[in-house]
């Protein structure tokens, strides 16, 4: 570990990648614990064990300290994240210049998944509220799954689609509630 308690070669900020030190390589138990955790998330929900293990091998652990920016609104999006621990806040700039807190992400939540699909700029920023461990899946990793296991790729996309549908229904409900408030005035 360096003087600041961080692993060698790590930095603060959006491109922080955890680099295992020589004596810190993940053990099989660590890998098994990570697979068990990931398999319990909705992103991995219902995937056959061999596919879950393959997908878990494609994700990379990233660590962020409280206050670190994971990514900023408008940046190119090339990956999504599953929260292993910690808390992160998703924010968006409003037309007035103010920043709005959209959602708090906690253990098991995932975000940034649209970057795997549309490859558009990020529609919001993400900042760690507490020290956090994230598991990152890049669009290159997902494409690798597509090339190696088309059926598995389709199952993963079904999980993504289910989550996006849930989020759309929730957003529609919030918009409807806001419209009711506006019309009561």
Q: What is the pLDDT of residues 117-164, one digit of tens each?
A: 887 899 999 999 999 999 999 999 999 999 999 999 999 999 998 988
Q: Dmax over Cα atoms in the chain, in whole Å? A: 64
Q: CA–CA separation, 140 vs 116, rounded Å?
A: 9
Does 13 have pLDDT greater than 80? no
In sequence order, the β-bridge partners of residue 79 are: 138
Domains (ranges, CATH) in the chain? 22-184 (2.60.120.10)
In sequence order, the β-bridge partners of residue 89 are: 104, 127
Q: For position 24, what pLDDT does the model report? A: 40
- CA of residue 108 relative to chain centroid, distance: 9
At residue 178 the predicted structure's pLDDT band, cuts being 50, 70 and 90, is confident
At which residue do the structure tokens 């020589």 appear?
22
Q: Which residue has the higher pLDDT, 94 or 91?
A: 91
**Of residues 128, 125, 114, the one with CA closest to residue 167:** 114
Radius of gyration, alpha carbons of the chain: 18
Q: For position 41, what pLDDT does the model report? A: 93
Mean pLDDT of the chain: 84
| pTM, full prediction | 0.78
At residue 29 the predicted structure's pLDDT band, cuts being 50, 70 and 90, is low
Q: Is 45 helix (H, G, I), strand (E, B) or coil?
A: coil
Percent of the chain whose pLDDT exceeds 70: 84
Q: For position 98, what pLDDT does the model report? A: 87
At which residue do the structure tokens 């597509």 appear?
146
Percent of the chain whose pLDDT exceeds 90: 58
Distances in Å between the alpha carbon of 39 and those of 63, 110, 125? 20, 13, 26
Give, in degrees to the nearest 5, the angle at Cα 133 between 78 and 72. 40
Q: For position 181, what pLDDT does the model report? A: 85
Burial class (CB in 10 A: 0-12, 13-18, 19+), 23: exposed
Q: CA–CA separation, 73 vs 145, rounded Å?
A: 27
């Amino acid at each position: 570990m360096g003087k600041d308690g961080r692993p060698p070669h790590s930095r603060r900020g959006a491109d922080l990648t955890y680099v295992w030190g020589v004596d810190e390589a993940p053990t099989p138990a660590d890998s098994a614990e990570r697979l068990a955790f990931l398999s319990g998330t909705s992103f991995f929900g219902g995937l056959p064990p061999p596919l879950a293990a393959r997908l878990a091998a494609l994700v990379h652990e990233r660590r962020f300290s409280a206050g670190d920016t994971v990514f900023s609104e408008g940046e190119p999006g090339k990956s999504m994240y599953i929260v292993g621990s910690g808390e992160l806040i998703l924010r968006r700039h409003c037309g007035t210049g103010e920043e709005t807190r959209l959602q708090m992400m906690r253990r098991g939540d995932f975000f940034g998944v649209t970057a795997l699909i549309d490859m558009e700029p990020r529609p919001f920023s993400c900042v760690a509220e507490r020290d956090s461990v994230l598991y990152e899946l890049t669009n290159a990793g997902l494409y690798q799954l597509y090339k190696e296991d088309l059926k598995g790729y389709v199952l993963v996309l079904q999980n993504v689609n289910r989550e996006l549908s849930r989020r759309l229904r929730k957003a529609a409900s919030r918009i409807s509630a806001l419209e009711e408030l506006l019309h009561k005035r």
